[in-house]
Structure 1
Amino acid sequence: PKGWIAANFGDRAGLECFEADGSDLPAAYATAVSAAEWVRRNRKPAFLHLRTVRLMGHAGSDVEAAYRTSAEIAADFDRDPVLCTAKLLIERGHLSPADILDRYENKRAEVLELAEQVGELPQLDSPAAVMKPLTDCAEQAAAAAPERVDSDRRAQFVGSPLPEEEGPLTTALAINRALLDVLARYPESLVFGEDVARKGGVYGVTRGLMKKAGSARVFDTLLDEQAILGLALGAGVSGLLPIPEIQYLAYLHNAADQIRGEGATLQFFSDRQYRNPMVVRVAGYGYQKGFGGHFHNDNAVAALRDIPGIVVASPARPDDAAAMMHTCAAAARSAGSLCVYLEPIALYHTRDLYEDGDEQWLAPYPDPTTLAGNHVPIGSARTYGDGTDLTIVTFGNGVRMSLRVARRLERANIAARVVDMRWLAPLPVSDILREANATGRVLVVDETRKSGGVSEGVVAALIDDGFTGPLARVTSDDSFIPLGDAALEVLLSEETIEAAAVKLVSR
């Protein structure tokens, strides 16, 4: 509506507004310069409003005369910025009318010639040709490995003791130390999000990072997921390495289009001339005890898995969490990848695996000085055990549950191996298929929902690649996750996994 922009943004607190007539080139330029200088001087955002016109219809099928009067259309042509600039040049004595017309016609001829040349170029005539930006990025990302960092500079930045000297760590501490190493390795990296700086995150995962790296590189944002990912898009395309945090998986959907419609498409439509690298940290999944309902316990990842070209990491164990953060940062930096790094909240501070006090979920930090051996490439799975009766394929919280179930199965003389996929996009299909063929039976353990969950893709991949053995899956229900103990009624349980495993082996 007329006047809506000025009314909504002209006097908004915290947002300086600059306004000019977009048809007046000198005024538009001067106002834009003033806005940029104000932003740089005050380090605050500005709103630049240039009033202009839309000439002709929105598309070829849009006939303006059907809904606008001829007088309205003619008035807009009088405000054509090109025509107004031509008049200005003539009035100021810079060019004559003949000069203007010559320039206009010369430019028209140039554009038509270029259009003719482009029209004769080879067309995209195969799936491979269309998808080349995606496949090239994926290949480069798969080959990405963290760069070595000068040990003295790292020690000075990280401090003492170094992470690898601390002994076994929780998943939360491993992520924290990996982020600190990334900040030390890549000076252009930034960590930001809701409460990540002064508070150190809701779960303490980013605690101490601001003190080590400074408030210019680790900082708090507004509680606005669109603003967080929008900032990451701008930082990435400007040559920085943003590591934004979305505080809960359910809130990622508030800003999913920043990933789907912007970040993931930029390389594709620009043939990789422009890139939006980032590592989006997301605290998610279910099984969090005594805290929140659907918005703090959410297991919906389908909106991510169908976006072409993005990397979706899902670490469970502390050592994998650290190594995979290094891999994602390297892939973002070298290939321009947009990586989503899903962190299982329920495993952040878990210490024990089988029995209280056994501390078998803890793991030492992968020493960066021997990083080649600790590297976790994108699309590679991790296998626990060498059982020959059953292969359990899982990820996230399912890894801990499946390992516990595998021990109980062993007591029943069922030897199972557990495969942690670690990567949800791209799926580690070759590793899954190898481990599936090793036993001839596969149970997919999926903590996400039955419809639109991860297991659908795993089962389909196995069938597509020729696996013919007994195959089953167990998942959480198609439900939102309620408060308290009621959540356990719809989330996947160890009992369900065990029953399905026994049934599958008995076929």
Structure 2
Amino acid sequence: MAQMNMIQALNSALDVMLGNDPNVLIFGEDVGYFGGVFRVTDGLQKKHGLTRCFDAPISEGGIIATAIGMGAYGLRPVPEIQFADYILPAYDQLVSEAARLRYRSGGEFSAPITVRSPYGGGIFGGQTHSQSPEAVFAHITGLKTVIPSNPHDAKGLLIASIECDDPVIFLEPKRLYNGPFDGRHDRQLRTWAGHAAGEVPEGHYTVPLGKAATVREGKDVTVIAYGTMVHVALGAIEESGIDAELIDLRSIVPLDIDAITASVERTGRCVIVHEASRFGGFGGELSALVQERCFYRLKSPIERVAGWDTPYPHAFEWDYFVGPARIAAALDRAMEA
């Protein structure tokens, strides 16, 4: 075991896979010599060479199209899109080519690509550097969408994604890159801790895609979250004094609906939390699934806590973020109904 923050854990996963599988390669904007804008690929080009980790032109569509061709040829590329906000020029490639290649070719070809991208807020990047577009990927049959919440899971999920024979969108919460934070207070949420976040195995291991984790057991209400919101929700639960069970989805496609259903059937209440805007967000799908499967066990309406349905503000992103107070209010409403 080694102490790592999420950046170090992701770097370790990429290092392990580059060493273990000659078909794995990494490319994207500034990922080579510079080591990535968030330093996730730092040192990998020097260690593994220019043909295994290299820079690409500023062309998101070209990056993903090239990765799809590499995957069909038998490689396992790990392209990086510098910010998730920039991925839309490549959306057609992901939807029309990567997601459908196996079916369209009758299983003759596949697209075993893992598209890494920082996502969410935390750097005052506003509408061009801080969006949370996970719902637009979850809607596409044939794509997997993975969102880790801690270094241990980040490394294991990334290795599992690279080894997967289907295309994976791997979204990395920027607020969790540099270390843990205390989710109970907005003041502490503003601080990026530079210390390690936990113990992470140094070698090869995987965390299975589609398997949720129970972060906290409880009997009164089920809270469903992923990514950064796992920590914010945990802080809200601890402050509220409510005996809530917290489920970290880890991947939204595939979705561990069995874990969600089992928890809500026990508690009879459900609060769903995500950073993206509420309207059309993945929380709506989660709410529908819970209602369909647990309707006769529900003791109160399902609550959703999400980002505002407004353009993402630069200067006021901490007012836009879902904070502990808003989650605690949803918990209170669920308990009082």
TM-score bracket, normalised by the shorter chain, equals: over 0.9
- In structure 2, distance between residues paired with 1:359 and 1:200: 18
Q: Are the equivalent residues in 1 in contact too, given 2:264–2:294 (CA < 8 A)? A: no
Which residue in the other structure is 2:331 paired with?
501
Q: Are the equivalent residues in 1 in contact too, given 2:274–2:307 (CA < 8 A)? A: yes
- In structure 2, distance between residues paired with 1:396 and 1:495: 18
1:446 aligns with 2:274: yes
1:378 aligns with 2:206: no
Alpha-carbon shift at residue 361 of structure 1 (Å): 7.4
- In structure 2, distance between residues paired with 1:494 and 1:376: 28
What is the CA deviation profile of residues 368-408 of structure 1, one whole-angstrom value per residue up to 9, with x for unaligned ones? 46x3xxx4211110111221111110001111101111111
1:392 aligns with 2:223: yes
SS in 2 for 1:501: helix
Q: Are the equivalent residues in 1 in contact too, given 2:221–2:270 (CA < 8 A)? A: yes
- In structure 1, distance between residues paired with 2:42 and 2:202: 21
SS in 2 for 1:294: helix
What is the CA deviation profile of residues 310-343 of structure 1, one whole-angstrom value per residue up to 9, with x for unaligned ones? 1100001110000100111111xxxx20011000
Q: 2:35 aligns with which of 177, 200, 203?
A: 200
Alpha-carbon shift at residue 190 of structure 1 (Å): 0.5
Which residue in the other structure is 2:285 paired with?
457
Structure 2 portions without partners, runs of 5+? none
Which of the two has higher C-alpha Rg? Answer: 1
Aligned residues: 328
Alpha-carbon shift at residue 359 of structure 1 (Å): 9.0
Alignment-mate amino acid for residue 282 of structure 1:
S
1:425 aligns with 2:253: yes
1:292 aligns with 2:120: no
- In structure 2, distance between residues paired with 1:466 and 1:401: 25
1:225 aligns with 2:74: no
> Highest relative contact order (Cα 8 Å, sep 6+), 1 or 2?
2
RMSD (Å), alpha carbons: 1.9
Alignment-mate amino acid for residue 330 of structure 1:
E
- In structure 2, distance between residues paired with 1:270 and 1:467: 41
- In structure 1, distance between residues paired with 2:107 and 2:174: 34
Alignment-mate amino acid for residue 139 of structure 2:
D
Alignment-mate amino acid for residue 323 of structure 1:
G
Which residue in the other structure is 1:18 paired with?
none
- In structure 2, distance between residues paired with 1:366 and 1:328: 17
- In structure 2, distance between residues paired with 1:466 and 1:406: 22
Alpha-carbon shift at residue 264 of structure 1 (Å): 0.8
Alignment-mate amino acid for residue 132 of structure 2:
N
Q: Are the equivalent residues in 1 in contact too, given 2:5–2:177 (CA < 8 A)? A: yes
Alpha-carbon shift at residue 367 of structure 1 (Å): 4.8
What is the CA deviation profile of residues 14-55 of structure 1, one whole-angstrom value per residue up to 9, with x for unaligned ones? xxxxxxxxxxxxxxxxxxxxxxxxxxxxxxxxxxxxxxxxxx
Which residue in the other structure is 1:130 paired with?
none
- Shift in alpha-carbon separation, 1:217–1:478, aligned structure 2, 3 A: same
- In structure 2, distance between residues paired with 1:492 and 1:439: 23
Q: 1:351 aligns with which of 180, 198, 210?
A: 180
Alignment-mate amino acid for residue 490 of structure 1:
Y
Q: 2:236 aligns with which of 401, 405, 413?
A: 405
Structure 1 portions without partners, runs of 5+? 1-163
Q: 1:182 aligns with which of 12, 17, 25?
A: 17
Q: Are the equivalent residues in 2 in contact too, given 1:380–1:428 (CA < 8 A)? A: yes
1:489 aligns with 2:328: no
What is the CA deviation profile of residues 343-367 of structure 1, one whole-angstrom value per residue up to 9, with x for unaligned ones? 0011101233368799997121135
- In structure 1, distance between residues paired with 2:31 and 2:195: 28
Q: Are the equivalent residues in 2 in contact too, given 1:449–1:477 (CA < 8 A)? A: yes
- In structure 2, distance between residues paired with 1:499 and 1:431: 25
- In structure 2, distance between residues paired with 1:282 and 1:260: 17
Alpha-carbon shift at residue 506 of structure 1 (Å): 1.8
Q: Are the equivalent residues in 2 in contact too, given 1:317–1:361 (CA < 8 A)? A: no
Q: Are the equivalent residues in 2 in contact too, given 1:444–1:474 (CA < 8 A)? A: yes
Q: 1:314 aligns with which of 147, 171, 175?
A: 147
- Shift in alpha-carbon separation, 1:407–1:296, aligned structure 2, 3 A: same
Alpha-carbon shift at residue 466 of structure 1 (Å): 3.1
SS in 2 for 1:419: strand
1:239-254, aligned counterparts within 5 Å? 239-254=74-89
- In structure 2, distance between residues paired with 1:437 and 1:184: 45
TM-score, with length taken from structure 1: 0.62
Q: Are the equivalent residues in 2 in contact too, given 1:313–1:339 (CA < 8 A)? A: yes
Alignment-mate amino acid for residue 87 of structure 2:
L
1:277-288, aligned counterparts within 5 Å? 277-286=112-121, 288=122
Q: Are the equivalent residues in 1 in contact too, given 2:145–2:252 (CA < 8 A)? A: yes
Query: Structure 1 residue runs of 4+, over 4 Å off?
Result: 354-361
1:72-221, aligned counterparts within 5 Å? 164=1, 167-221=2-56
SS in 1 for 2:199: coil
Q: Are the equivalent residues in 2 in contact too, given 1:315–1:395 (CA < 8 A)? A: yes
Alignment-mate amino acid for residue 29 of structure 2:
E
- In structure 1, distance between residues paired with 2:196 and 2:213: 15
Q: Are the equivalent residues in 2 in contact too, given 1:384–1:419 (CA < 8 A)? A: yes
SS in 2 for 1:178: helix
- In structure 1, distance between residues paired with 2:195 and 2:182: 5
What is the CA deviation profile of residues 185-241 of structure 1, one whole-angstrom value per residue up to 9, with x for unaligned ones? 111101110011111111111111111111110001111101111110111111111
| More helix as a share of residues | 1
Alpha-carbon shift at residue 491 of structure 1 (Å): 2.9
Q: Are the equivalent residues in 1 in contact too, given 2:134–2:145 (CA < 8 A)? A: no
Alpha-carbon shift at residue 307 of structure 1 (Å): 0.8
Alignment-mate amino acid for residue 172 of structure 2:
E
